């Protein structure tokens, strides 16, 4: 953690206090309950300042203080523990919640996520694959979201909503440019959801949000150079370089599914040919295994099981996709030199089923120096990385300026 800000002629004390409140709240949001003395060390502030900051966050309903266990090393006198009790600052998981929305190719999920990143309740709707009117998706989400909001106890603060979509989202206005699986082009999803839900809804690319959640509190904590690969119908990536998320000029960076990997390859839904996702994506697996298209993760798992049970066609299909998964991952490693590559969704199923094939292919296509020490790992949050990333998006304004955000939320 960065040491706290200090007041000075150039930095107004109000700004300093605001920054320190944000740092403290972010710490307990990310790391969970933390003792006052640990916060004193982490923020490099004195005890009374930490006490004041905590009191302000308590008054705003963002954290509470609990009396922690006394130190085991505390001296006893006549059997009674002595010394000051240790106060622990705890995020108000139930008192401050966000709505997290994940729009998938075959599912819609709405969850209540408490401050601290805990999923408190969720509702998953199966979605028929194929083009859908954005208006219909927004209405379905609205119904589920209202149920979730109704479940929030009286006095709960809803910090807002975040939504993950499997497509390109323009920065800074959040216009959803392309969601091929749903047939959307240039739809103002955030604005429509905001109207439906009556609150701000920030929209992000699902792979970017998956990477965000894994970076904040998942498989990539403490890693500065991260590639999170999301395999669903296509392949997307959320990427961190030197500790910061890769965005690109318009917000579209990370479309690794459309790396041109095979000159003589299959046509891609993007209009091109031989894109990585045409070889390592789910649909290629289904076609090679002789299954109908659009089976999603359930169908991927069936094929993997069939391959393990001796179905030669399924086994060959898994081998093909595993080889191409490694080939593309090798390219990604050459370009980004990451510390960790997280394999999400269908890619994880393939990796688990054919790890040796994937690793051999990665080793063949990655150069030796960037390959050194790179880890291929599953996401810490399974299929929920994007959902949890959407919650992080919703909490972001609160974490940036806690008191102002709270007063804005309560005024509205």
Q: Which DSSP state fits 258?
A: G
Minimum CB distance to a second copy, residue 171 (Å): 10
DSSP string covering 159-171: EEEEEEESSEE-T
Q: Which residue lies nearer to a second copy by CB, 117 or 257?
A: 257
**Three-state SS for 4?**
coil
Minimum CB distance to a second copy, residue 264 (Å): 7
* Adjacency order of strands within the sheet including 96-103: 118-126, 107-114, 96-103, 157-165, 201-205
- The span from the CA of 96 to the CA of 84, in Å, is 30
- The span from the CA of 181 to the CA of 23, in Å, is 39
Q: Which residue lies nearer to a second copy by CB, 253 or 304?
A: 253
75: tokens are 């001296």
- How many alpha carbons lie under 13 Å from residue 87 in its C-beta half-sphere? 14
Minimum CB distance to a second copy, residue 110 (Å): 27
**Three-state SS for 222?**
coil
Minimum CB distance to a second copy, residue 394 (Å): 23
Minimum CB distance to a second copy, residue 362 (Å): 11
Angle between helices 13-31 and 402-411 (to 10 degrees): 90
**Three-state SS for 375?**
strand
β-sheet bridge partners, residue 275? 260
What is the SS3 assignment for 78-120?
CCEECCCCCEEEEECCCCEEEEEEEECCCEEEEEEEECCCEEE
**Residue 82 backbone dihedrals phi, psi, to 5 degrees:** -125, -175
User: What size, in residues, is the chain?
Assistant: 412
Footprint of a second copy (CB under 8 A): 5-11, 168, 170, 177-178, 224-225, 237, 241-242, 244, 246-256, 258-265, 270-272, 327-328, 330-331, 334-339, 364-365, 367-370, 372-374
- The span from the CA of 166 to the CA of 163, in Å, is 10
Minimum CB distance to a second copy, residue 32 (Å): 28
β-sheet bridge partners, residue 77? 80
Q: Which residue lies nearer to a second copy by CB, 86 or 331?
A: 331
Minimum CB distance to a second copy, residue 352 (Å): 23
Q: Which residue lies nearer to a second copy by CB, 9 or 79?
A: 9
Minimum CB distance to a second copy, residue 62 (Å): 26
Q: Which residue lies nearer to a second copy by CB, 135 or 244?
A: 244
Q: Which residue lies nearer to a second copy by CB, 255 or 384?
A: 255
Q: Which residue lies nearer to a second copy by CB, 276 or 383?
A: 276
Q: Which residue lies nearer to a second copy by CB, 361 or 386?
A: 361
Number of other CB atoms surrounding residue 241 within 10 Å: 15
Q: Which residue lies nearer to a second copy by CB, 180 or 294?
A: 180
Minimum CB distance to a second copy, residue 252 (Å): 4
- The span from the CA of 252 to the CA of 247, in Å, is 6
């Amino acid at each position: 953690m960065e040491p706290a800000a200090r007041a000075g002629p150039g930095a107004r004390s109000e700004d300093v206090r605001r920054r320190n409140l944000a740092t403290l709240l972010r710490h307990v949001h990310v790391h969970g309950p933390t003792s006052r003395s640990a916060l004193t060390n982490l923020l490099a502030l004195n005890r009374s300042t930490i006490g004041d900051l905590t009191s302000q966050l308590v008054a705003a309903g963002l954290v509470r203080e609990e009396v922690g266990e006394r130190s085991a090393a505390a001296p006893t006198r006549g059997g009674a523990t002595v010394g000051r009790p240790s106060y622990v600052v705890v995020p108000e998981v139930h008192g401050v919640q966000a709505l997290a929305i994940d729009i998938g190719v075959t599912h819609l999920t709405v969850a209540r996520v408490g401050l601290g990143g805990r999923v408190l309740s969720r509702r998953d709707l199966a979605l028929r694959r194929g083009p859908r009117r954005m208006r219909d998706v927004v209405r379905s989400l609205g119904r589920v979201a209202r149920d979730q909001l109704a479940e929030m106890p009286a006095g709960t603060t809803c910090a807002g909503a975040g939504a993950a979509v499997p497509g390109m989202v323009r920065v800074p206005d959040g216009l959803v440019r392309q969601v091929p699986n749903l047939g959307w082009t240039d739809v103002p999803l955030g604005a429509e959801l905001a109207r439906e839900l009556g609150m701000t809804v920030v929209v992000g690319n699902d792979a970017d949000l998956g990477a965000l959640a894994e970076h904040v509190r998942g498989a990539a904590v403490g890693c500065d150079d991260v590639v999170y690969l999301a395999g669903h119908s296509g392949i997307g990536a959320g990427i961190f370089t030197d500790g910061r998320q890769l965005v690109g000029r318009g917000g579209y960076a990370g479309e690794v599914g459309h790396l041109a990997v095979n000159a003589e390859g299959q046509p891609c839904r993007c209009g091109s040919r031989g894109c990585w996702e045409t070889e390592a994506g789910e649909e290629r697996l289904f076609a090679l295994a002789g299954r109908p298209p659009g089976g999603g993760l359930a169908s991927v798992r069936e094929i993997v099981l069939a391959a393990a049970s001796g179905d030669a066609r399924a086994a060959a299909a898994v081998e093909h996709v595993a080889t191409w998964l490694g080939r593309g991952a090798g390219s990604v490693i050459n370009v980004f030199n990451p510390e960790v590559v997280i394999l999400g969704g269908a890619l994880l199923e393939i990796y688990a089923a054919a790890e040796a094939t994937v690793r051999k292919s990665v080793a063949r296509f990655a150069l030796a120096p960037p390959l050194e020490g790179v880890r291929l790992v599953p996401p810490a949050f399974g299929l929920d990385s994007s959902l949890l990333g959407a919650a992080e998006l919703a909490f972001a304004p609160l974490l940036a300026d806690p008191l102002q955000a709270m007063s804005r939320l309560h005024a509205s």
